[in-house]
Amino acid sequence: MSSTSEPLPVSWRSDLQSRLDGQETLLAVLDLDLDARLCFTPGVVALTERRLLAGDGSGWREWPLDADLALALRDHAGVGTLELQQQGRRIGCWRFTLGNNPAALQLFRQFEQQCAALAGAAAPASAMLGEPCPECGAPLAPRETCAACSRLEAVPPSTSTLFRLWRFAQPYRWQLLAGFVLTLVATAANLVPPYLTMPLMDEVLIPYQNGKPIDYRLAGMYLGGLLVSALVAWVLGWVKTYILALVSERIGADLRTTTFQHLLRLSLEYFGGKRTGDLMTRIGSETDRICVFLSLHLLDFATDVLMVLMTAAVLVSINPWLALVTLLPLPFIAWMIHVVRDRLRHGFEKCDRIWSEVTNVLADTIPGIRVVKAFAQEKREAERFREANRHNLVINDRVNRIWSLFSPTVTLLTEIGLLVVWVVGIWQVGHGDITVGVLTAFIAYISRFYTRLDSMSRIVSVTQKAAAGAKRIFDILDHVSNVPEAAQPIAPGRLHGRIELNGVGFRYGNQAVIRDLSLSIAPGEMIGLVGHSGSGKSTLVNLICRFYDVSEGSISVDGTDIRQFSIAGYRRNMGLVLQEPFLFFGTIADNIAYGKPDATRAEIIAAARAAHAHEFILRLPHGYDSLVGERGQTLSGGERQRISIARALLIDPHILILDEATSSVDTTTEREIQTALDNLVRGRTTIAIAHRLSTLRRADRIVVLDRGQIVEVGPHEDLMARQGAYFKLHQAQARLNEADLAQPSEESEQSVEPVPAPAREAVA
């Protein structure tokens, strides 16, 4: 795990080992790669049952474990700091880059356990949730991939990744075999015509020049042979290309569907860390690139190799000596072409990247066009675009200099090769070693495959590109969901909605978002969640929805741990209304029935009525059949929200989650939505997050969160009477309202919450 640092020299490790006496064992080792002045210097901190050891260039220090020792771990800007404190004094301080953070966490936890044991408390059996990650030692929940390692991706794509595609090719192995045999035969058929020129020359044309009449029967036979071989090659080539294109297209489609299916099963955490565009490219163009590689480049290359091998065999069988001369320059020419191609490839890659710079200007400017115009910066943006284009031209000019040279050079090399064959051939004909026919056949053969060398040299770069593509696909496929389906899932059926949270803890990366939180919610109760941005409200809701799994503790519904339910069955009991309602492209009716595709029209209308959406839907030109979503009818925020409320009403869930359902609309619309929500909330266990406390008046109990912990629980009146955290929040908002400053969202929640906006939309 010391990817960013030099691995600790072996002597350090053995030095460390030699410092331990027989009975003590190493519990945790943290390799340091920075010193106090943040220079890259190796060092080590190690923990045994009895002491803490630290070593660096200047020697070793050690502290016997003691109950009044404490460790503090924090990080800033990629640098982790581990401090040893004793009675309020800092007695040791070590630095490391974040790559070593899992090891530091491990050390930290082990240290706390040991100290707790020393203080008399029985050491907790094990704080570990499961097996440690094999690569970095961070403890993992069962079947989870380690977040720290999976982000590492230290291995560059290797061509061997392509072999993993075999999993997708296997169902088509017979077609592939047929395709290969056909390729073999077609290539052989292609080699017949030059062979026939030999007797045609020696037995028909040369004797004619020497005064013999042309043997038309013989000539006809040879010409017929030429025609037949051409026809056979044509048919075979057609069939093989068709079969292989068919197969590769299917492999590509299978790859796409499998990847997308797998992607949908991954947890929200995965989507949180990825850009939508990147995932789209992976599934879209990367699979296409692999497909083209399989059907075109790989096929061409196989054909070329076969042809070169077969030609070489034929040439050797005709005349080994001339064959040697013909084939000798081949490796040299191949190497030359490869070198030039290689340089060109870098050039082209550069062009690609520069090109993306040009498109970046467009992608920046067009969505921000209102700002550009408002600040009258059109000229500057035009200048920026011109500059990017100029850069593009400079790079392209440089590439074109080599590129324009390339084709003529290949031709020249081919001609030189031919010249050599001519020279040796004429010399041999002069000595009577070979006939004119043999020489003609040779010339015909080699002019065929010299030109193929060019296309063969391309294989290196396309293989690399396809391998990179395959790797990116397998990155997705290899990612194990960290919200795993239980081995024997329980079908939850219809839940009553009693929710129990027991000592729930959740870490996002190395940052604790929820700490030791316990709460029990009765069926049909409405809970209002309030707190500052980043206090863990949305995370808590995500945990209850099981978009993530808890790191510690458990959440149970109706007495069963939610990890034992089948995920889909459990979520069918949840209704979710988000701050930014997401509408899919389709009719309004489709959108309302999203969670229950077999709903009748009457059910849809009833849900829409209850959500106060019926009337505005009827005002639309096509009523319930109006198209919405991207490219569809534009709806206002309140209207979209009411459709999403109808969507939640239709599945009639017993557990309802309202995540800031009214905070992105104005006060009037909020009132309308509120009445719709009141219909929705009735008789259901409801957890509502709200920015505006006024929307939580109806809540049975209000839970105030701060830094992942509950600070206050109780009904509105009680909390107001208590004059605590809730009271303060309430007063602050009341003042804001008085000052008429209550804007819908003063601060952006998303920057602190682990789930960015796209991911939230994806679950709507």
Partner 1 sequence: MNDFELSRDALGRLVYRAGEEAPHEVVPVRAFPIAAPDEGIALVAGNGRELRWIETLAELPVAARELIEEELASREFLPRIRRIVAVSSFATPSTWSVETDRGATRFVLKGEEDIRRIGDGRLLIADSHGIQFLIREVGALDKGSRKLLDRFL
Residue-wise burial string across 24-55, b where 16 or more C-beta atoms lie within 10 A, e elsewhere: eeebbbbbbbbbeeeeebbbbbbbbebbbbbb
d(CA 631, CA 431): 80
| Smallest distance from partner 1 to CB 157, Å | 6
Distance, C-alpha 691 to centroid of its chain: 33
DSSP string computed for 690-753: -SSGGGGTT-SEEEEEETTEEEEEE-HHHHHHHTSHHHHHHHHHHHHHHTT---S-SS-STTTS
Binding residues with partner 1: total (CB under 8 A): 38
445: tokens are: 């053969």
User: Is 85 near partner 1 (CB under 8 A)?
Assistant: yes
Subset of residues 267 to 326 that bind partner 1, contact rule: CB under 8 A: none
Kindly state whether residue 396 participates in binding partner 1, applying the rule CB under 8 A. no
N-to-C CA span, the chain: 38
Part of the chain binding partner 1 (CB under 8 A), chosen from 74-82, 163-171, 404-412, 621-629: 74-82
Within residues 344-363, the interface with partner 1 by CB under 8 A covers: 346, 350, 353
CB 557 within 8 A of CB 498: yes
Per CB under 8 A, 125 contacts partner 1: no
480/591 Cα distance (integer angstroms): 30
Supply the minimum distance, in Å, between the C-beta of residue 746 and partner 1: 16
**Is the separation of the CB atoms in 453 and 341 below 8 Å?**
no
**Of 150-158, 445-453, 659-667, 731-739, which segment contacts partner 1 by CB under 8 A?**
150-158
Q: Is 39 in the site for partner 1 (CB under 8 A)?
A: yes
Longest dimension (CA), the chain: 126
* Stretch of 151-159, 301-309, 660-668, 721-729 contacting partner 1, by CB under 8 A: 151-159
Q: How far is the CB of 42 from partner 1 (least distance, A)?
A: 10
Q: Name the one range near partner 1 by CB under 8 A: 82-90, 452-460, 551-559, 686-694.
A: 82-90
Contacts of 234 (CB under 8 A, 6+ apart): none
The verdict on 78 binding partner 1 (CB under 8 A) reads yes
3-state secondary structure 567-581: HHHHHCCEEEECCCC
Member of 17, 38, 216, 339 binding partner 1 (CB under 8 A): 38
Which one of residues 120, 156, 277, 559 is an interface residue with partner 1 (CB under 8 A)?
156
Least Å distance between CB 509 and partner 1? 11
When the beta carbons of 33 and 659 are compared against partner 1, the nearer one is 33
3-state secondary structure of 508: strand
Helices and strands counted in the chain (H then E):
27, 19
Q: Kindly identify the residues of this chain, within the stretch 411-470, that bind partner 1 according to CB under 8 A.
A: 464, 468
Residue 155 found at the interface with partner 1 (CB under 8 A): yes
Q: Is the Cβ of residue 349 or residue 625 nearer to partner 1 in the bound state?
A: 349
Tokens of 523: 């069926």
The answer to whether 37 contacts partner 1 (rule: CB under 8 A) is: yes
Taking a C-beta distance cutoff of 8 angstroms, is the pair 473, 287 a contact?
yes
Region 366-395 residues binding partner 1, contact defined as CB under 8 A: none
Interaction between residue 151 and partner 1 (CB under 8 A): yes
Contact criterion met (CB below 8 Å) for 639 and 508: no
| Residue with smaller CB distance to partner 1, 93 or 423 | 93
145-153, 187-195, 299-307, 551-559 -> range binding partner 1 (CB under 8 A): 145-153
| Residues near partner 1 (CB under 8 A) | 3-6, 33-34, 36-41, 76-79, 83, 85, 88-90, 93, 95, 97-99, 151-157, 346, 350, 353, 464, 468
